[in-house]
A and B are shown apart, each in its own frame.
Chain A
Amino acid sequence: MATTTLEPQADTYRRSWVLDWLTTVDHKKIGILYIVNSFIFFFAAGILALVIRSELMVPGLQFVDIETYNQAFTMHGTIMIFLFVVPVLTGFGNYIVPLQLGAPDMAFPRINALSFWLLPLGGGLIFSGYLFGGAAAEGWTAYAPLTSERFAPGVGTDLWIIGLTLVGTASILGAVNFIATIFKMRAPGMTLFRMPIFVWTVLVTATLILLATPVLAAGLIALFIDRNYGGSFFDPSVGGNPVLWQHIFWFFGHPEVYIVVLPAMGVVSEIIPVFSRKPLFGYKAFVFATIAIGLLSFTVWAHHMFTTGQVLLPFFAFMTTLIAIPTGVKMFNWLATMWRAKITLATPMLFALGFVSMFLIGGISGVMLAQPPIDFHLQDTYFVVAHLHYVFFGGSVFGVFAAAYYWFPKMTGRMLNEPLGKVHFWLHFIGFNLTFFPMHQLGLSGMPRRIADYSPDAGWTILNLMSTVGAFMIAISVLPFLVNVIASLINGQPAGDDPWEANTLEWATSSPPPPYNFDRLPPIHSERPLFFLTHGHGHAPAAGREHDVIEEPEDDPERRGGLA
């Protein structure tokens, strides 16, 4: 019970400032809270990753014991997914979606605040295992029966369950809010097919969250009942079924992986056109591909269970591989957007291209894993670890940084420093590949995941060493980013309303936007209302007066450029 004595004046000042943020229901402030909170968790989980990598650098147990190691990768995976990537993208969604729709706020501002505040609470509970005899240590997938009370008696696992349930509830509420906002709060003229792609991806993502997360909640509750009330959902000795957990977890888990990547794809689809000075090629194809991925994602969960011997291999292999097609459509649309474009390699664009090129590798390794005979060899090896980082890190995290560099000027009114941003990108990009590319080979030669130690005779030492060096390089690369953000907040160049000559409505208001976002809205006749204002038909800058009559004709054969 320490009492802090503060100068009375400072007290009132600070209290009002803090209170303002604690009680805010403004979507922009909540968005920033989301993003800052997520980055704190990112650093925590990243430090756990460094623990993992240090331990694996050379054979032998040098830094931590096995129990600590197991807690480290469990917490690392859990926090990265549930408290970094998902919430940080939700944060950008919170900030940007109402702006892009021309709306003053989210549909349910109070629920919005509630869903944010559940996050630090849930995350805190998950982490608090460290204070009560050890955090959960059964992997982020928490397979039964390893998570039963018998094999994992610690309270850390219960805290993990409760924390995740809260985080899940938060994202369900958030999803309701997003969908309602998108259907109810669009500005006049903003038809569904004029919405920016980012909004579309958020819409599909929110739908996935809405339908997948409750299933995880049901599973978590079942697990909790098994552990604490003598239930037997997953206990084979009294009629339960341990594989049932895997079905439930992956029925949620696979949509979850698209939940973390679709909004990042949306970010990339905003950035590539702007820095190519062209519209996104194949807008509608892109929208339908996103919806197709969403639908398919509910039919493929058992590709995580090929080696359980309990699933229909050809069916799930086929459905899984099928996802390559809509994903490919997106890839090719990005590429076609850059065809005959005028590309500027500003930092947001670099990260966006980093996304495209790295996600490709992760996608391809995913397709390899989707072939059951190959998965028999690779399942639960470092090849899977490589795959998941290429899609999560090479995909989502590159997308997150792209979004951060792209929208920072809008959120703060200040530009980030370009040279520092480029240093960040290249260190990040090289460190990332150095860390995770060797893992493909490690997995192919049989190194299982989730081991704290390996034999020096196995021939895995050099590749592990490279990987560890890469991990520290990633960690260092984050420093220029932090420096950049802080320096810019203190003394950044003013950004103006629209520093990138962008297309969408968030750039039509001041940076940062005023409360309730817009004093005036431009007319909306296409998915690029701002571009339209400046360029009219898109051939030459047009005077901004006749825009009311100019429709951007989507089916006019004359204007359909195309590759052919």
Chain B
Amino acid sequence: MSARAAAVDSHDVHVTARESAMPTALLGMLLFIASEVMFFGGLFATYFNARASAAGEWGPPAGAHGLDIVLAGVLTVVLVTSSFTMQFGVWAIRRGDIGKLRLWTALTLILGVAFVLGQLYDYSVLGFGIADGVFGTTFYTLTGFHGAHVFGGTVGLTILLARAMRGQFSARNHVAVEAISIYWHFVDVVWIAVFSTIYLLR
């Protein structure tokens, strides 16, 4: 008993976060994204299930305008571009160039907002709703939840931009930039999956 107590006393405590490549916050973001992957996996499963057992033609209900693949294509380009601008921002801050970070973040934010607005416009002219058959339900759910994630991303980007304006990031200290950028790339990848599934795999 006393031997043990002595031993406990004789050692200093080293309880700092482990020194390894990945900061804790980044790991947290990656884990969160893993759960998001499963979430979208669930939604995709509903889509494929409905599509596989659909009796007639798969697509928007008869009488609706049908999907606007051109607009969707443009939105895809917008979002993919925004992934690049985001990454340029990350590279900039890794070099310690906060001015460039501000620039690229602002651009990314603008592209993100453009995407959301474009999608809302698309919804307004499609001519069918979430209650119009199982295609409508799965279509709006998938694209809607993706859109909500883009929107969430733009909120994050806004905060990021505000902090960048105040000069809170540096080459050594910019975990938040890395984290938001991972999230943003993830949202982009989900869109590519959504686009391919709904528009290309017809």
Contacts and interface: CB of A to CB of B under 8 A. Distances in A.
- Classify A-B as touching or not with yes or no (CB < 8 A): yes
Interface of A: 102-104, 107-108, 111, 172, 175-177, 179-180, 183-188, 210-215, 217-219, 221-222, 225-226, 229-233, 235, 238-241, 244, 247-248, 251, 508, 516-523, 530, 533-534, 541-545, 547
Interface in B112-166: 129-131, 133-135, 137-138, 141, 145
B28 interface: yes
Given A180-B31, A215-B41, A521-B14, A238 B133 contact: yes
A218 B43 CA distance: 6
Given A180-B27, A221-B141, A240 B50 contact: yes
A217 B37 CA distance: 12
Given A180-B31, A218-B43, A523 B15 contact: no
Measured as residues with beta carbon below 8 angstroms from the partner, the interface class of chain B is: 35 or more
A305 B145 CA distance: 29
A244 B49 contact: yes
Given A214-B35, A533-B3, A219 B27 contact: no
B42 to A, nearest CB: 3
Interface string B1-27: 101101111111111011010001001
B36 interface: yes
Interface string B24-48: 1001100110111011111101100
A239 B55 CA distance: 8
Contact of B15 (A107, A518, A541): A518
B15 A176 contact: no
A167 to B, nearest CB: 15
Contacts of B18: 183-186
Contacts of A183: 18, 27
Given A218-B40, A522-B8, 5 more contacts: A175-B35, A221-B141, A231-B131, A233-B141, A521-B14
Top-4 shortest CB links A-B:
A230-B131, A218-B42, A544-B3, A214-B39
B46 A187 contact: no
B10 A520 contact: yes
B8 A175 contact: no
Contacts of A184: 17-18, 20, 24, 27
A452 to B, nearest CB: 34
Contacts of A530: 4
Contact of B4 (A176, A222, A247, A544): A544
B3 A240 contact: no
B13 A519 contact: yes
B130 A176 contact: no
Contacts of A211: 34-35, 38
B14 A231 contact: no
Nearest to A185: B17
Given A175-B31, A184-B24, A244-B46, A239 B133 contact: yes
B54 interface: yes
A226 B130 CA distance: 9
A207 B28 CA distance: 13
Given A217-B39, A239-B54, A534 B34 contact: no
Interface of B: 1, 3-4, 6-15, 17-18, 20, 24, 27-28, 31-32, 34-36, 38-43, 45-46, 49-50, 53-55, 129-131, 133-135, 137-138, 141, 145
Contacts of B34: 210-211
A286 B46 CA distance: 37
Nearest to A181: B24
B40 to A, nearest CB: 8
B35 A176 contact: yes
5 contacts: A183-B18, A210-B35, A222-B141, A239-B53, A244-B46
A262 B45 CA distance: 28
Contacts of A180: 24, 27-28, 31
B13 A521 contact: yes
**Max chain A Cβ within 10 angstroms of own Cβ: one of B11, B12, B18, B36:** B11
A235 B137 CA distance: 11
A291 B103 CA distance: 46
A523 to B, nearest CB: 6
A179 B27 CA distance: 9
Nearest to A101: B15
Nearest to A215: B42
Contact of A523 (B11, B31, B138): B11
B13 A522 contact: no
Contacts of B45: 218, 244, 247-248
A66 B30 CA distance: 47
* B28, B35, B50, most chain A CB atoms within 10 A: B35
Contacts of B35: 172, 175-176, 210-211, 213-214
B42 A217 contact: yes
A214 B33 CA distance: 11
B135 to A, nearest CB: 8
A521 B12 CA distance: 6
Contacts of A522: 4, 7-8, 11
Contact of A547 (B7, B46, B50): B7
Contacts of A221: 141, 145
A327 to B, nearest CB: 24
B46 A534 contact: no
B14 A218 contact: no
Contacts of B130: 225, 229-231
Contacts of A541: 3
A544 B6 contact: yes
B134 A534 contact: no
A96 to B, nearest CB: 16
A231 B42 contact: no
Nearest to A211: B38
A492 B7 CA distance: 28
Contact of A533 (B4, B32, B54): B4
Contact of B38 (A102, A214, A533, A543): A214
B14 A238 contact: no
